[in-house]
Amino acid sequence: MAAKAGLGLNQGSLVVFDTGGGSSQFTFGHDAVVDERFSVDVGAVRYTERFGLDRVVSPEVLREAMEAISADLSRIDGRPVPDALVAMGGAVTNITAVMHHLATYDPAVVQGSVLDRAEIDRQIALYRSLDADARAIVGLQPKRAEVILAGACIVRTVMEKLGKQHFAVSDRGLRHGVLAERFG
C-alpha cells in the first residue's frame, strides 16, 4: 500500500521487495490485488558473514557470493517481468543516498528515486574495493558499511531475475501503508 500510494502505481503488475539483514520480503501483485507475499532467507548479514563481504573482496569471491544469492533466490525464478519493480528498506535507501551524495538523509530526495543496473554495479565495484572501515562514503550510514556490499548484491540479483533494468525506491513503510489504506 505504501509503495503504491507513495509512487502513484495504480495499474499493472508490481513487485515490491525489501532486503533485510536476515531475509528479504517480496510482494507480487497487479492493480489493487496482492497475488503473493513471501519471505526468503536471503539477507545481507548472512552473506556478509559467509563470504567476508565486509572486507576487500576479490572478483572470484564476489562471483561466488552472487551465485549463492542467485541460488537462494530461486523462488523468484521464471516469473513474468513486472511492469514496475519497487525496492524499500535500509540497503536501497542507503544505496540511493550514496547515489545522490546525501550528507544528511532526505526522505523527499530518496522517495521515488530510480536506480538502474549501472548504478548498482558501480556501487558494488566501489564497496568490493574497500573494507567496512574504509567505506566512509557520503550517503552511507556508518552502521550499514559492513553489510552494504551484500545488500547491493541482493538488489542486483533481484533485478536480474525479474528482468528489470531499473527500479523505484520507496522510503515509505508500514505507517504510510496504514494511512493510505485508511484514508485513501
CATH number for 64: 3.30.420.150
Q: How many domains does the chain have?
A: 1
User: Above 50 in pLDDT, residue 180?
Assistant: no
Average confidence (pLDDT) over 123-127: 98
Q: pTM of whole model > 0.85? A: yes
- CA trace torsion 95, 184, 27, 32 (10° rounding): -130
Q: What is the structure's pLDDT at 32?
A: 79
Higher pLDDT: 138 or 12? It is 138
Query: What is the reported pLDDT for 69?
Result: 98
Label residue 132 by pLDDT band (50, 70, 90): very high
* Rounded Cα–Cα distance for residues 71 and 157 (Å): 10
